[in-house]
Each structure stands twice: as structure tokens, then as C-alpha cells.
């Protein structure tokens, strides 16, 4: 039960961070600037792989969006 509450609090905190730090539209829109900065020459699966390769360099908002999306 405590684990479920911990997970629920984490999800709510990530959602709040996304709402504050993400451009309007939320979700992966928080990663738009990072994708342009690190992976502008990539598309589709290559862009996703590039973002994964650069995950330590991504903004906090993008990291939170990726975590919320299960990436």
C-alpha cells in the first residue's frame, strides 16, 4: 500500500512539473527544444534513439515527460 501511494505521489509531482515547465500542449512537447538541440538531423526512430543517447543532457521538463511516457 505504501508503494502505491509513493508511486501516485511521484506521478502527481511529475504531472505538476510538466504543467509548469512544458510548453502549452504538455506531453512530449516538453522535449521539442531538446530534440532540436541534440537531434535536429534525425527523424522517427532515429530521433528517439538520439534522444535516448542524450538522455543525461536533456532538460528536467523533458526528462519528466519521458518518464511519464514510460521512456
Confidence (pTM)? 0.59
Give the residue-averaged pLDDT of 11-25: 46
What are the sequence ranges of the domains in the chain? 2-68
37-51 pLDDT, tens digit per residue, is: 999 999 999 999 999
Q: Which of 8, 21, 5 is nearest to 64 (CA)?
A: 21
- What are the cell numbers at 64? 519528466
What confidence tier does 28 reach under pLDDT thresholds 50, 70, 90?
confident
Give CA–CA dist 6/9, Å, rounded. Answer: 5
48-63 pLDDT, tens digit per residue, is: 999 999 999 999 999 9
Amino acid at each position: 500500500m505504501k508503494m502505491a501511494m509513493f508511486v501516485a505521489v511521484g506521478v502527481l509531482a511529475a504531472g505538476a512539473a510538466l504543467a509548469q515547465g512544458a510548453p502549452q500542449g504538455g506531453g512530449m512537447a516538453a522535449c521539442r527544444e531538446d530534440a532540436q538541440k541534440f537531434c535536429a538531423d534525425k527523424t522517427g526512430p532515429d530521433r528517439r534513439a538520439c534522444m535516448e543517447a542524450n538522455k543525461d543532457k536533456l532538460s528536467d521538463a523533458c526528462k519528466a515527460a519521458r518518464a511519464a511516457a514510460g521512456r
